[in-house]
């Protein structure tokens, strides 16, 4: 329970950190970029939707995703090492063309990094980030 709360707090803390980075380095306040940072931070978990078909209700589904580490034991579309590597390239590439895209992909990547590090140190395995089934 404590680990899950820390995990969720990190998912809020990271976009705020990125927001400070954005405000400090770009010295502008565009509301769409602020929204994009938060969108990019929570969008990766959309791949958990595949587990919805195994649950009876939205409430049960949310409870399962927040309080269970079992969802991290199978490969997910975004939550895998191959997609993270792809994201590094797409983040760097997007930085050449669009600040909004750069912020979106960077916050997307940071979300996955938090999940990856959490799995590495909390459930002590990253096997499910590598295997393709
Ligand atoms: Zn996640």
Return mean pLDDT, the chain: 87
Contact 75, 132 (CB under 8 A): yes
Whole-angstrom Cα distance, residue 84 to residue 65? 21
Query: For residue 94, how many other CB atoms are within 10 A of its CB?
Result: 18
Q: Of 109, 100, 96, give the one whose Cα is nearest residue 41.
A: 109
C-alpha of residue 84 to centroid of ligand 1, in Å: 12
The pLDDT tens digits for 111-120 are 999 999 988 9
Whole-angstrom Cα distance, residue 97 to residue 65? 35
User: Quick one: DSSP state of residue 68?
Assistant: -
Q: Which residues contact 34 (CB under 8 A, 6 or more apart)?
A: 19, 22
If one counts the domains in the chain, the total is 1
pTM confidence score: 0.86
Predicted confidence (pLDDT) at residue 70 exceeds the cutoff of 90: no
C-alpha of residue 83 to centroid of ligand 1, in Å: 13
Range of the domain at 21: 2-130
C-alpha of residue 37 to centroid of ligand 1, in Å: 15
The percent of residues above 70 in pLDDT, for the chain, comes to 92
C-alpha of residue 8 to centroid of ligand 1, in Å: 9
């Amino acid at each position: 329970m404590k680990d899950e709360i820390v995990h969720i707090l990190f998912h809020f803390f990271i976009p705020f950190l990125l927001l400070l980075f954005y405000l400090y380095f770009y010295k502008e306040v565009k509301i769409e970029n602020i929204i994009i940072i938060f969108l990019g931070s929570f969008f990766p978990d959309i791949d958990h939707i595949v587990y919805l078909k195994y649950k009876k209700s939205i409430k049960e589904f949310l409870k399962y995703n927040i309080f269970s580490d079992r969802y991290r034991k199978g490969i997910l579309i975004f939550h895998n090492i191959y997609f993270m590597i792809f994201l590094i390239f797409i983040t760097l590439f997007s930085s050449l063309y669009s600040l909004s895209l750069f912020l979106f992909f960077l916050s997307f990547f940071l979300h996955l990094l938090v999940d990856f590090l959490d799995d590495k140190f909390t459930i002590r395995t990253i096997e499910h980030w590598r295997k393709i089934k």
